Amino acid sequence: MFSFEVRNRDLLARIGKLGTKSGVVETPVYLPVINPSKQQVTPRELREVFKCEALITNAYILRKQFGEQPIQEGLRRFLGFPGVIMTDSGAYQTLVYGDVKISPDEIIRYQEEIEADIATILDVPTGWGVSKDHAQNTVNETLKRAKELEALKMREDIAWVGPIQGGRYIDLVAFSARETGKLPFQIHALGSPTRVMEQYLFDLLVDMILTSKMNLPPNRPLHLFGAGHPLMFSLAVAMGCDLFDSAAYSIYAKENRYMTEYRTFRLSELEYLPCSCSVCTSSDLRDLRDMSDEDREEALARHNLHVCFSEMRRIKQSIVEGRLWEYVEMRATGHPSLLQALKKLRPYSDYIEQHSPVSKRKGIFYLGPVGLSRPEVTRHRKRILERHSPPQGADTLVLLPYFKRRPHKKNRLHEKFNEVRKLAMEASTVHICIYSAPFGVTPIELEDVYPLSQTEVAYPPDAETLNYVTDQIKQYITGNGYHKVIIMSDPNSWEDEVAKKLNQIGREEGFTLEPIRSESDLRNKDLIQRIVKTS
């Protein structure tokens, strides 16, 4: 009854079709948390107004407050929601209150009886601020309960969620993911991230999510518990999270807090409503402030839901366009903690590159040094060093700078270098390459390969990018055994900085560097002849 089919990818993100016994949901998907005892927005309204495909409710609370009623009516009829319904098990209540009066096998049976589409075992959350011994115990007990599921469950038409525990202890997260991934769960979920997100420790969240992804079967969806603020949706999706749930839209509404994609405001802080949803276009601030507490709470809940659903649609569009990195980078500039988290992707760049599309519909925008972690840059560096071989016998490298007109071989300055090409072909000693940010060296024969000539860059590059480019060129020179490097660069430009750095590197590594400093040098046949002969 369960299926997961991916139709679009970008970074580790995927737009997929998640099939359950009650219908198909498109991922990534945001699941609002529904508390049947207090509904600011009804499940029917979620479906009809917000086009919500799936929601999540708490099986433990249902059993405690409503007993047999959800079993007798069936969960969809009880909630008034015809879409896909996921149930949590009460583990969060364990974290808050220390214990729940229900056993792991009882909550499994109850979720089957109410006919949940996606159900969760009663795991033991690690929580925050606990010792490593305690964290290890939560991992072990959760794994024990996960192994017991197969013998306890009675139905085969429910997708079961295998939670990952370990909290801030990344080695335990890796162990938990690896061992739980060996079991026949359909979906996995990262547990205990709520306090991490509440404290804006997004760099730690990067470690937790990517460690889980690297140790789980890649064909299974990953759920991020308690991820309810649209500020961080795009980063989490980029790291491979497929499902999200949260009650933040409701909790914030009770506290007179107004969500936007980039931060949350208290209603008292606003002078304008920076949104075009039905709530914000039919009311102004005075209207909202003059409402009764109940009406204002419902209005803010609807607005907050609109922001969450809208952000998820924008993320999906970015995936389809192949511009998710640019979108994440834009969102990351909205908060220092998010930008810090984006920088934390650097150690995982090889893993992200291995699981990212090789080509896309559109070129890429390079905006700054955080982009050095993006898969296109990582892939070029690896492949140019591992897979590309210069012309046999070439011992002189000619480096020409990046020009706006593409392909580069049609640029007028490159055309003036035709004499070098001709003589190089005859002598088989000269190899012509382009150097640019952020890729470094690009052999002229590969310039049309995606995305080398489909990249827009904000020039001049910053110091970190310049150092990266210089280091990549150095590796290319030393790795291919060039004895001489001729580099064209304009005085007082970023290219000139690269030339100066390479000159110093050449003295250390044993190759000589000769600069071409003007267009007239390109027209100097004596210089060209000397380049070829001395090579």
Q: Which two tokens stand for residue 74?
A: 């069936």
Give the CA radius of gyration of the chain.
28
Residue that is written with structure tokens 């593409």 in the block = 406
Query: Distance between CA 150 and CA 368 in Å, rounded?
Result: 49
- Contact between 304 and 258 under an 8 Å Cβ cutoff? The reply is yes
Residue that is written with structure tokens 């296109």 in the block = 376
- Contact between 226 and 197 under an 8 Å Cβ cutoff? The reply is yes
What are the φ and ψ backbone dihedral angles of 121, each rounded to 5 degrees? -70, 160
Exactly one of 88, 207, 242, 245 is catalytic; which is it?
88
- Contact between 147 and 174 under an 8 Å Cβ cutoff? The reply is no
Residue that is written with structure tokens 């009675």 in the block = 154
- Contact between 222 and 191 under an 8 Å Cβ cutoff? The reply is no
Query: Distance between CA 375 and CA 455 in Å, rounded?
Result: 13
C-beta neighbour count of 468 within 10 angstroms:
20
Residue that is written with structure tokens 């991934």 in the block = 181
Query: Distance between CA 507 and CA 23 in Å, rounded?
Result: 67
CA count, 13 A, side-chain hemisphere, 117: 23
Q: What one-character DSSP code corresponds to residue 129?
A: S
Q: What share of the chain is helix, strand, coil (3-state, %, to 5)?
A: 50, 20, 35
Is position 157 annotated as part of the catalytic site? no
Q: Which residue numbers are catalytic? A: 88
